[in-house]
Amino acid sequence: MPDQEALPGMQDRKIEALQDAALSYAKIRDKRQKLTLQEVELKGELLKLMKKHKKTEYDYEDVHIEIVTEDEHVKVRIKKAKEEEGE
């Protein structure tokens, strides 16, 4: 027996592949948004610490931090060892 046509005003029928892809995407998106909030909080803490120590730039071993003055945020660079770059 063929599938009955959808009547006007009815919802689309569930398409498993679309449903699964949308749920997977939403799960990853929500994780990313939480990480973005954590990143903003940590950058704020780092900026406070730089000001507390009266630093506009910090450079020690592989860590480099600088305050970007035009919009007052921090940039952080961590240099990777050559072995790690190849991974």
pLDDT attached to residue 12: 74
Instruction: Report yes or no: 67 and 57 within 8 Å, Cβ to Cβ.
Output: yes
What separation in angstroms does the CA of 21 have from each of 3, 13, 14? Answer: 24, 16, 12
Instruction: Say whether pLDDT at 80 is over 70.
Output: yes
Instruction: Say whether pLDDT at 85 is over 70.
Output: no
- Structure-model confidence comparison of residues 11 and 68, the more confident one: 68
Residue-wise pLDDT tens digits, 37-75: 999 999 999 999 999 999 999 999 999 999 988 777 788
Q: Any residues with CB less than 8 A from the CB of 67 and at least 6 apart, and which?
A: 47, 50, 55, 56, 57, 73, 74
Query: Can you read off the two tokens belonging to residue 11?
Result: 């919802």
Q: Can you give the pTM of this predicted structure?
A: 0.61
What does the alpha-carbon distance between residue 34 and residue 38 come to, in Å, rounded to a whole number?
Answer: 6
Rounded mean pLDDT, 21-25 = 93
What mean pLDDT is reported for the chain?
86
